[in-house]
Each structure stands twice: as C-alpha cells, then as structure tokens.
Amino acid sequence: MFLLSLIAKMKALSMTCDGFNLDPVRYTAVMGGILGPLYSMSAKTEHPQSSNILVTIEMSGYSMSAGGNMAVAACNPDGFCAAGDVLRAQLTKDNAAHLLIWAD
C-alpha cells in the first residue's frame, strides 16, 4: 500500500503541477510491478475471476490516496508542487528512480 500511495502522489503531481508529465509506459510498468503479484495470487485460488479482493482493496486505497493528494494540491498548489521536486530528488538519490512515473 505504501508504494501505491507513493504512485498516487506522483499521479496527483502530474495532474496539477508543471514539470511532472506522466509517462504512460512507466506508469503501467510501475503499477504492473506492484499489482502483478496480487493478480497472480488471485489466479491460484479456486475461483480466480471472483477473488481479486486484494486488488480491489489496494486500488481502493490508491484511489483514496490520489483524492487526498488532489485535495492537498487544491489547498496549497505551490507547496504541493515544491514537495514534488523534493520527492523526485529523494527517489533519484535513494536509487529508487525506477518508481518514477514521470517523463524525463
């Protein structure tokens, strides 16, 4: 859930701030890496078509986090966008740039 919250923040940054353009290929790859194991766990159950509860729970949390970030952006756009610059620098410094969903 932590990673999905991080991606939700980056997605909100891409929707509200200049300089954070979403790269759909990166976004899909990162989301697939997070959700893929949950889908494979569901596929091993007796009724895989109806047992994506883990994915449903995770995506509900993702949606709530995205909405919360959009609310923060609406209340303090300058601060929110400045935090995005800090986030990009921190992920790059921590060798976690593979999680970035923004275009270069």
Q: What is the C-alpha separation between 87 and 13, in angstroms, rounded?
A: 10
Q: Are 43 and 16 in contact (CB under 8 A)?
A: no
Q: What is the C-alpha separation between 69 and 41, in angstroms, rounded?
A: 29
Among 24-28, 43-47, 71-75, 84-88, which stretch is predicted with the lowest mean pLDDT? 43-47
Give this prediction's pTM.
0.85
* pLDDT tens string 3-56: 999 999 999 999 999 999 999 999 999 999 998 888 776 656 666 565 677 788
To 10 degrees, what angle do helices 77-93 and 53-75 make? 130
Q: Two tokens at 57?
A: 């729970």
The mean per-residue pLDDT over the stretch 65-93 comes to 96
Q: How high is the pLDDT of residue 58? A: 87
Domains of the chain, by residue range, sit at 2-99
